[in-house]
Chains A and B, each alone.
Chain A
Amino acid sequence: MITIEKLKIYYKYHGDGDMWNRLETSEEAKIIQYSDWKLIEDIVQDIIFIENNVVSLNYKNEVLSKASKNCSDKETLEYLIKVANDIK
């Protein structure tokens, strides 16, 4: 499940997984695992595609559905979209 806490860590490293591997603190390691990172990254990439109008309406709906199902609440979903827009 994607949470604000996990998103903040992803955002902190600008979605750069290699740098996250290098710099993450022990506290961060307790919060986010690679599976979380990959899930966030996949959705962020899809949101960026949506923002760039390069996907179909069906694909867009699938992405938003996937994002909604994997975010803990509406606030998290909104933050996820903000993260995607900020780092694209």
Chain B
Amino acid sequence: MDDEGFEGGLDNFASQYIGGGLKKQPDEEDVSSHIIIPNEIHYIAGSEGGACHPCLPGQDVNSPTRFVKQDDGTLATQGNLNTVTINGSSSQTNSSSGDYDSGIWGSHHGYSGYNPYTFRSKDIDRFWTAVSIGLLTDGAGEFAGPAFASSSTVGRVFWSGGGNPAIRAAAEQFASENGMTTLEMTRAGRNLTDLTEGMQWDAARPYWQRLSSAFANGAQGEAHVFQGVGGVSIESVWRTEYSILNSNNVNIIYHLIP
């Protein structure tokens, strides 16, 4: 499938995220999987190339830190630090670099004023929310760019089933059989699915909305949408996708599933 524009966008982001902001250390395991599965993420402080350098209080900026999501929902750090569990007490972070804004969380990537390494409560979701903000801030920017729009020729299939898993399944089957793709079948969609699994609706929705908007913006010619005969939820991101497809004069072909 030729959806390099979409996939390439994520790869570009991933290379910045892992290869730039999060330098892999020789003695560290591959951190790339931790982008996909947010139960554990490594942050290597003291990275090179103008990346940001946030670290925990008392931490040597050249020491790697591993953030691990605990069973009870709290966040623990492991690594060269003694294991520290952040369980609700205020824990401010330090930034040892003057070029913080050039880091992955900085304004260079369209996001400023929020340091995801500042833990103010036991609401660990905030941390993972910040992770996804980074993903989508960079990712969507790549996806929505001209290269994305012009290079992608893969047919796009949308779905909105109001909770009925058969609608999504039908959309994915149709896409597979016709050389097309749904958002969730793309690498970016898979990553975001893993990243937002179990996340609160109001935290996850903006990122899905943003990614699905980029996906819709890349549609050309015609797009297929699968829906249940019962209608579409008023909260569905399909409303946003529809507006984009409509304004881009994409021919929408509806498939109603009983």
A residues adjacent to B (C-beta < 8 A)? 12-25, 28, 34, 37-38, 41
Q: A22 and B201: CB pair below 8 A?
A: no
Most buried by A among B160, B196, B233: B233
Interface bin, chain B? 20 to 34
| Known A22-B208, A23-B198, A23-B199: A17·B162 in contact at CB below 8 Å | yes
Contact of B222 with A by CB under 8 A: no
Q: Mark B122-160, 1 if CB is under 8 A from A, else 0.
A: 000000000000000000000000000000000000011
Interface of A is mostly: helix
B residues adjacent to A (C-beta < 8 A)? 159-165, 168, 184, 193, 196-202, 204-205, 208, 233, 235-238
Q: B208 and A19: CB pair below 8 A?
A: yes
Residues of A within 8 A of B237 (CB): 18-19
Q: A22 and B236: CB pair below 8 A?
A: no
Nearest CB in chain A to that of B228: its residue:
A17
Q: A23 and B197: CB pair below 8 A?
A: yes
| Known A22-B193, A22-B196, A25-B197: A16·B164 in contact at CB below 8 Å | no
Ordered by A's residue number, 5 sampled pairs between the chains whose C-beta atoms are within 8 Å are: A17-B161, A18-B162, A19-B204, A21-B168, A41-B163
| Known A18-B162, A18-B238, A19-B208: A12·B201 in contact at CB below 8 Å | yes
Residues of B within 8 A of A18 (CB): 159-163, 233, 236-238
- The count of A-to-B residue pairs whose CB atoms sit within 8 angstroms is 66
**Cβ contact of A14, chosen from B159, B161, B199, B202, cutoff 8 A:** B202
| Known A21-B161, A34-B164: A15·B233 in contact at CB below 8 Å | yes
Give the complex CA separation of A41 and B238 in angstroms.
18
| Known A22-B193, A37-B163, A38-B163: A16·B233 in contact at CB below 8 Å | yes
Give the complex CA separation of A23 and B129 in angstroms.
14
CB distance from A46 to the nearest CB of B (A): 14
Give the complex CA separation of A26 and B28 in angstroms.
30
**Cβ contact of B163, chosen from A12, A25, A34, cutoff 8 A:** A34
CB distance from A71 to the nearest CB of B (A): 19
Residues of B within 8 A of A20 (CB): 163
Nearest 3 pairs between A and B by C-beta?
A: A17-B163, A16-B235, A17-B162
